[in-house]
Amino acid sequence: MKSSKLMMGCLATLGLSAGLAMAAQAQTDSEREAIAERLKPVGELCLQGEECGSAVAAAAPSGNGDAIDGSAIYGNVCMACHETGAANAPVRGNEEAWASRVEQGFATLLDHSINGFNAMPARGGNPNLSDAEVEAATAYLLEPVMEVPAPSSDDVAAEEASADSGLDGETLYGSSGCAACHASGVAGAPVLGDADAWVARLEQGTETLYDHAINGLGAMPPKGGNAGLGDDEVKAIVDYMVAEAQ
């Protein structure tokens, strides 16, 4: 919190807070673009403890889709706000700050990254970033709090993502009826992404959680009441729920 105050102080000194306030009000695309242009220097701020020179060099936009380094772009453009919480930006890795946001799904979050969202400037304030570069940075930002789809432009990452079970726990969670209880806490179900509700459950270990999800526990019906699900599918969903709870 101390460092985030410090950060806000820096932003204010640079006159950026005025720009942020305007970004929140901007209605038209041209207004947003003008503000984004003025916010550009945010990406070049050096934060305490960061080696800015290397991050900036590594993030040189390639624009043609090959070898895009999401973490470098994040470090160059997004980190100024998303590492510190400046302008109330949700901090990377903070489950609570992201819980309701990730429910929108990756496509909507990416849309908000590209086009802006309240005080979140379009393309993080850097209009020179391509869609693919914003996507890579968004994926890096969201990695700790949700399963992010592999970018179509990055074959290596795509292979890595499907290397394990090949089952998509997040999609199965949505299509198997688990959300009916776990999205809102119906019948006392631990809510997806609510770390407090999951902490004691996680301590039981993954095998026990698999067992309870497959065979039921109290008001939790076996396989969530969806007998058609394979054990592997239930396990993939549990993996997703566990990842969301950490």
* Contact with ligand HEC (CB under 6 A) among 131, 152, 219, 246: 219
115 is a site residue for ligand HEC (CB under 6 A)? no
Measured at the CA of 175, the angle between CA 173 and CA 179, to 5 degrees, comes to 50
Stretch that binds ligand HEC, among 29-37, 58-66, 153-161, 204-212 (CB under 6 A): 204-212
Across the chain, which distance is largest between two alpha carbons, in Å? 60
Give yes or no for a contact between 190 and 198, defined as CB atoms under 8 angstroms apart.
yes
* Contact with ligand HEC (CB under 6 A) among 7, 8, 59, 109: 109
Which residue in this structure is represented by tokens 């009441």?
A: 225
Measured at the CA of 55, the angle between CA 53 and CA 60, to 5 degrees, comes to 100
Q: How far is the CB of 202 from ligand HEC (least distance, A)?
A: 8
148 is a site residue for ligand HEC (CB under 6 A)? no
Q: How far is the CB of 201 from ligand HEC (least distance, A)?
A: 3
Residue 143: name the closest of 95, 175, 104, 182 by CA. Answer: 95
Q: How far is the CB of 146 from ligand HEC (least distance, A)?
A: 10
Give yes or no for a contact between 122 and 116, defined as CB atoms under 8 angstroms apart.
yes
Cα 127 to chain centroid distance, Å, stands at 21
Give yes or no for a contact between 102 and 146, defined as CB atoms under 8 angstroms apart.
yes
For residue 218, how many other CB atoms are within 10 A of its CB? 9
Binding mask 36-65 for ligand HEC (x = CB under 6 A): ---x--x-----------------------
* Contact with ligand HEC (CB under 6 A) among 59, 68, 72, 209: 209
Q: How far is the CB of 162 from ligand HEC (least distance, A)?
A: 20
Binding mask 62-81 for ligand HEC (x = CB under 6 A): ---------------xx-xx
Which residue in this structure is represented by tokens 């109290």?
A: 218
Closest CB to ligand HEC among 29 and 159?
Answer: 29
* Contact with ligand HEC (CB under 6 A) among 84, 130, 138, 153: 138
Give yes or no for a contact between 79 and 3, defined as CB atoms under 8 angstroms apart.
no
CB-based contacts of 117: which residues, under 8 Å, 6+ apart?
none
Task: Give the interface with ligand HEC as residue ranges (CB under 6 A).
Answer: 20, 39, 42, 77-78, 80-82, 86-90, 101, 104, 109, 112-113, 117-121, 123-125, 134, 137-138, 141, 176-178, 180-182, 186-190, 201, 204, 208-209, 212-213, 217-221, 223-226, 229, 234, 237-238, 241
